[in-house]
A = this chain, B = another copy of it.
């Protein structure tokens, strides 16, 4: 693997495990047993490492933008959300440390806000599609609310999970996170889809 990619992977792992606020570029270099000068040759600052990781996160989340074209039923939605949560978990420092990142590097704020806005737009299209397919029954303003709740859950669920009493389940379970979003849709589901929700409830809640 190229040094550049090794740096990004080590940076991601350390940011995730120890927090973006506390991990320095020197810490990353030490982890990889390379010199600070070698790291500096590839990345001039911690911000550059963060920016590249953000770019990869955005790239790997790109399939989610086309979910409205492929999601035609509740189990499609569950899968699309499950995959999205896997990525969000893989890059979990992004939202967990968002306050630090936006404070330390103000130029990242509009970028994170654009990503939120893009997810909101995707989810609106997706839910409108599910209404058209007869899966959901919801008015346009209810669709806006569901899209907002879903984005909120995508960005913050893993932070919340750590605050829950442990009996409520493991905090990095993407399947459970996706299920949580489906429960928000519960009251809006047409009858056929309720059965799938009941199946998932049985799976995730004892």
State how many copies of this chain the complex holds: 2
Asked if residues B159 and A100 are in contact (CB atoms below 8 Å), the reply is no
- From residue 94 to 141 of chain A, which have CB atoms closer than 8 A to chain B? 95-100, 102-103, 109, 112-114, 116-117, 141
The smallest beta-carbon distance between A70 and chain B, in angstroms, is 26
Asked if residues B165 and A160 are in contact (CB atoms below 8 Å), the reply is no
- Which residues of chain B have C-beta atoms less than 8 A from A183's C-beta? 145
Asked if residues A99 and B166 are in contact (CB atoms below 8 Å), the reply is no
Q: How large is the interface on A (under 10, 10 to 19, 20 to 34, 35 or more residues)?
A: 35 or more
Complex Cα gap A153–B155 (Å): 12
Complex Cα gap A157–B114 (Å): 18
Complex Cα gap A39–B155 (Å): 38
The residue from B148, B160, B186, B205 contacting A155, defined by CB atoms under 8 A apart? B160
Q: Which 10 A/B pairs are nearest by Cβ-Cβ distance? A: A187-B187, A156-B156, A117-B165, A116-B163, A21-B21, A113-B165, A152-B160, A145-B183, A96-B99, A156-B160
